[in-house]
Structure 1
């Protein structure tokens, strides 16, 4: 299927505590397809039930005795190096809101210690995630991994479903988001740093033209990811082009990267994006906004080259 779909690179999403056994087996095999991991540390960053157990696993796989905030950062940095050694070019992070704020090391350690004892409050969790998004951006500046952030899903909304099947099994609902103020602490520090590549995904379409397009147009580190999840559809893509591109342009977007758990859907999802983006560009040609030669080049960029460039997959 990998060859039939003409896939050049397939990236899995893997927990920070994963030992990536399957990736190591693939590298040792005679199969020559390019399959790489993606560093996803949500379980050891977002404070929720089971956080202390996740930190124990982090300590175990990293070989770092994680007992405080300082050693916690050391363990995360070790895991990122391990993922890079196995081909990773990106990280992925989920947060319900775009809130970021810098904590002192003392404040961060106090929250971390409460979390290890299962005594952290909801406000502790919010502040810690907001701080860690900044720390993880700092790590991306240092190690070169592209940083993806997915914002705006209220997960496990249905308590009956959560009780019966556990976390992340459905009933995830989009929420409203605010970026101009919430994301400013991170952008103040790293938004103008050429070493950072930050790709932002969001489930609140009302932010597209009001906030995301202007922010991506201004901060060189920031790229907008394609319509995601609920909006990975014909109408969702059309709304995205209408609301984003006039201000941000196509070259402040990441093109299209598939985000699916259904392997056979990959070619269909890319085909939908190609068709919608070609239709949108054809409209610009008809209106005389771009000529046909430029539209042809833009269509290749939107379908292929932008994603390769954004995720550092060239070469």
Structure 2
């Protein structure tokens, strides 16, 4: 449950499922993951994005193994003490994995609350104290019912009360929806997606793809020289290297990507070159 919750942060289920299945087959217990180098967690994170999450899961696995007898703790406070585990993840694991009464507030739940109770098309751009108070007040006192409530509101937001095209005709609470009763006023802001093509983020992701495929340190020359000019055989590392060079990223952008990966602990540098962390 902890692995899936971390993987699902800002990432759709369809992309997470094959990676989650691979992780669970490789590392069915926290101790199994903790026994591996952190770089293996990054390698098998694949293309999920935000790969620092892989490092955090590896660190959490080590803490669980060392401090919690190898078992993911059930209590919110103990979950919150794990590396990389924030308030949402701790609440979700406590509620959905262990049946605890916890206030779970994700993007879908926030959107349902905003429309149903406050009459706004979208919640605030950042979680507010007022939203948390409302969610806590709405949570049923009965423990079992509280878990079902969290799951039901989350599912309602994911399937029916969606951000761009809500299916109001299918909504079981449409008659009570403050947003519909107010005439469905437009949102006060327009959500903006993050740019990708040509950005440092795209180059950083392409560099990470090279490091994941490599079975030995990658020299700076490899990053700067097209695979054909290096005489590399087709397949293997030449595939992500080719994708990186097709971006035509300037040398200074490549250097920023490499330095950023080093600073974030996602790569290491030795005399032989760059590699995933050990």
- Work out which of the two has the higher radius of gyration on C-alpha atoms and give 1 or 2: 2
After TM superposition, the score normalised by the length of structure 1 is 0.28
Structure holding more strand per residue: 1
After TM superposition, the score normalised by the length of structure 2 is 0.31
* Higher RCO, Cα 8 Å, sep 6+: 2
